[in-house]
Amino acid sequence: MTRPWQVIERVDSDEGPLELRRRGDDDFLITIGGRVLVNADAHRSERALGDLSANAIADRQRPRLLIGGLGMAFTLRGALDALPKGARVVVAELSEAVVGWCRGPLAPLTGAAVDDRRVELQLADVAGVIARAAERGGPARFDAIALDLYEGPPGGRRSADPLFGGDALARTRAALTSGGVLAVWSEAPSAGFEKRLRRAGFDVERHRPGKGGLLHAVYVARVSSEGPKGRSGSTRRRSHPRHSRRS
């Protein structure tokens, strides 16, 4: 008989109740407004996002990575496992409760990734962190930015989207170092987002983490030496053999 979920903690949010649920010893869910955000039992695409973004810059002497969205810290764990000791990881998370959960009941799932000495947690909107890095430039920029938001980029033009629209992607490009990387988790492949990335001056790869399961995608977009493009080119597609899907 399947055991019922128990709500460990519930906090209010603009999108409805944010809840941490538990079933058994290590089966957890984070939900918002009744919708599952993260499932501890199905987090491979999150790990893939962290792994892919970190590996893209791991050869740099002191790489700086910005992660937008903490979740259960699986993206952070994937990044830390691939980064050198001299790396710095800034995590921007809006919910203080989520940070507390990752330091509390969820900590064993990731080896207490949030307490790694390379990690700096900021209770902040990642769009604002990106905008400040773009404005300040120089050492404030990041070598990679990984965005793990529960729906990912919308399709179509959506030029006004604060993270995935054309203007936002131009700011993100300015917030990255030369040859820097933007990695994005997406609920499904988005041709519109791919076009916006290329127009903003990124070379784009779409990864399909693992095989089977839901059609989630991880985009890895590197700053192009050619600058913004008026016309779109092709998108290379790769699979990531160690990861399959997120809930």
Indicate the pLDDT class of residue 240, thresholds 50, 70 and 90.
very low
pLDDT 10s digits, 53-71: 999 999 999 999 999 999 9
CATH at 57: 3.40.50.150
pLDDT higher at 109 or 149? 109
Average pLDDT, the chain: 88
Q: Residue 200 burial by CB count (10 A; 0-12/13-18/19+): exposed, middle or buried? A: buried
Indicate the pLDDT class of residue 246, thresholds 50, 70 and 90.
very low
- Strand ranges across the sheet with 6-11: 6-11, 18-23, 27-32, 35-39
Q: Is residue 29 part of a domain?
A: no
Q: Is residue 7 part of a domain?
A: no
Q: What is the pLDDT of residue 211?
A: 58
Map residue 167 onto helix, strand or coil: helix
Residue 184 clears pLDDT 90, i.e. is over it? yes
Looking only at the bridges linking them, the beta strands covering 88-93 and 236-240 are unpaired
Indicate the pLDDT class of residue 229, thresholds 50, 70 and 90.
low
pLDDT 10s digits, 4-40: 899 999 999 998 999 999 998 889 999 999 999 999 9
Indicate the pLDDT class of residue 231, thresholds 50, 70 and 90.
very low
Q: Is residue 145 part of a domain?
A: yes
Distances from the Cα of 186 to the Cαs of 33, 89, 133, 199, 225, in angstroms? 20, 21, 24, 19, 25
Q: Residue 107 burial by CB count (10 A; 0-12/13-18/19+): exposed, middle or buried? A: middle
Q: Is residue 112 part of a domain?
A: yes
Domain limits for position 214? 42-240
Number of domains in the chain: 1
Instruction: State the CB neighbour count (10 A cutoff) for residue 230.
Output: 6
Residue 196 clears pLDDT 90, i.e. is over it? yes
Map residue 184 onto helix, strand or coil: strand
Q: State which amino acid sits at residue 165.
A: G
Mean local confidence (pLDDT), 159-183: 93
C-alpha to C-alpha distance for 64 and 57, rounded to whole angstroms = 9
